[in-house]
Amino acid sequence: MILSGEEIRAQLGTNIVIDPFDEARLNPNSYNLTLHNELMIYEEVELDMRKPNRVRRFAIPAEGLVIQPHQLYLGRTVERTETRNFVPMIEGRSSIGRLGLFVHVTAGFGDVGFRGFWTLEMFAIQPVRIYPGVPICQIFYHEIRGAITEYNSDKYQDNTDIQPSLLFKELDPTRRHDPQMKLPFGMEQPGN
């Protein structure tokens, strides 16, 4: 069962956090999340699941940025969310989809207990100009039945930025909990 917009509002501050929250972005059964002003692209031609891949970060100017087909762009939402006792999911808005812009390749499914910003895996069918702050996707919430074990990951939980793939942490257990592990240029967290 999907929560209505009224139920999303009723759960704010307890089971749902959307920060910042703007009443105007609340829909009948979802909430519109907006695009942050930075993007990231992989610099590698061939990506390797077992290693951190180099990335390049750049800003989306106020006049917009044309993104090109055959290129994956990683972005993030302006809003930070937290979800307890519900399953959060994101989908592209229909107006965005009608421009041929995918906002997630496969990762629109969230976990109970997720806290952080949503990384968007954006891919365009044809060149399309995007803008910072545009309502890019919508978050909605499913009820869940049965005992709940909240999401707890050293990869993406409590993220503060765009998150490139950290699959290598799963595939190479020696890197999983190494606080001295150096990430390639462009993958450093702000302030590090």
Catalytic machinery residues:
121
List CB contacts of 21: < 8 A, sequence separation 6 or more.
12, 31, 79
Distance, CA of 5 to CA of 16 (rounded, Å): 12
Rounded Cα distance, 52 and 180, in Å:
14
Judged by DSSP in three states, 171 sits in: helix
The H-assigned helical ranges of 47-142 are 94-97
Name every residue whose Cβ is closer than 8 Å to that of residue 12 and which is 6 or more positions away in sequence.
18, 21
If we measure between CA atoms, which residue out of 137, 23, 127 comes closest to residue 78? 137
Query: How many CB atoms within 10 Å of residue 103?
Result: 23
Element (H, E) at 93: none
Residues 50, 64: Cα–Cα separation, whole Å: 34
